[in-house]
Amino acid sequence: MTPLLQVKGLTKRYGARIGCADVSFDLYPGEVMGIVGESGSGKSTLLNCLAGHLEADSGHVMFDTRAEGLRDVRAMSEPERRMLARTDWAFVHQNPRDGLRMGVSAGGNVGERLMAVGARHYGDIRAQAQDWLGRVEIAADRIDDRPTAFSGGMQQRLQIARNLVTGPRLVFMDEPTGGLDVSVQARLLDLLRGLVREMGLSAVIVTHDLAVVRLLAHRLMVMKSGHVVEAGLTDQVLDDPQHGYTQLLVSSVLQA
């Protein structure tokens, strides 16, 4: 089976400081990879290099494109990469304001990706937006409201709907439940888990909340100072951590 995403030796430095170093892993279709580690360990750097938001210094990010099979994303032209970003890929930001258009209605936010790939029938776009709002548990009568009128949890659900409406194959998420109340987090996690299963999504999720990876991730990478110090099946890593740093992390000594 071809991996959907194949990462080899990915390295990013900020001057002399290491962002992430020599990261390699494969992600198979339908798999969710969790990335955990303390603050500053390089999780966001890695995710942004994968998604093409940051230019890595070296390494390869191979993606199994529909048309041509495995391609090195870093060698793609910018138009190709941007096309990928609004079709097969999705990116859920920690802060919904970074991933939403705050001046555009909920329906317009969800419809944007459809229109970006050529949808030109208002009725169809609206019906799909309506459907997706329902799937993320936003009431139908909120479709014309702007996200500024939504709670943090609703904004995050809206961001998820906006990202998933075009049926992406790979979703990047950076702390999708960060900054939310605990009860709101639980509901969002439930929802995410349902969607991931239902759509057979592949995802890379960055978090420093071990409960999040426990619920969502099949596999886990533990990062420290830019390096992956341990990787494996989620339950294995969490229940029987091998690396000293992971042991500390799991025993919650390092948890924020």
Query: Rounded distance, CA 170 to CA 12, Å?
Result: 22
Site string for other proteins, 142-161 (x = CB under 8 A): -xx-----------------
78 interface partner picked from other proteins, ligand ATP, Mg ion, none, CB below 5 to 8 A per type:
other proteins
Q: Is 45 in the site for Mg ion (CB under 5 A)?
A: no
Strands (E) across the chain are located at 5-14, 17-27, 32-36, 58-65, 69-72, 89-92, 170-174, 202-206, 219-224, 227-233
Helical segments of 138-209, H only: 152-164, 182-199
Query: What would the DSSP string read from start to end of 7-24?
Result: EEEEEEEETTEEEEEEEE
Q: Is 147 in the site for ligand ATP (CB under 6 A)?
A: no
The CA-based angle 31-157-219, given to 5 degrees, is: 20
For ligand ATP, which residue of 6, 23, 31, 43 counts as binding (CB under 6 A)?
43
Q: Is 44 in the site for Mg ion (CB under 5 A)?
A: yes
Q: Whole-angstrom distance between the N-terminal and C-terminal Cα of the chain?
A: 38
Site string for ligand ATP, 200-239 (x = CB under 6 A): --------x-------------------------------
Closest CA to 195 of 86, 90, 123: 90
CB 117 within 8 A of CB 84: no
Q: Which residue number, 105 or 225, has a Cβ lying nearer to other proteins?
A: 105
Q: Is 107 in the site for other proteins (CB under 8 A)?
A: yes
14 interface partner picked from ligand ATP, Mg ion, other proteins, none, CB below 5 to 8 A per type:
ligand ATP
* Binding region for ligand ATP (CB under 6 A): 14, 17, 19, 37, 39-45, 208
* Binding region for other proteins (CB under 8 A): 78-79, 82, 86, 101, 103-105, 107-108, 111-113, 115-117, 120-123, 125-126, 143-144
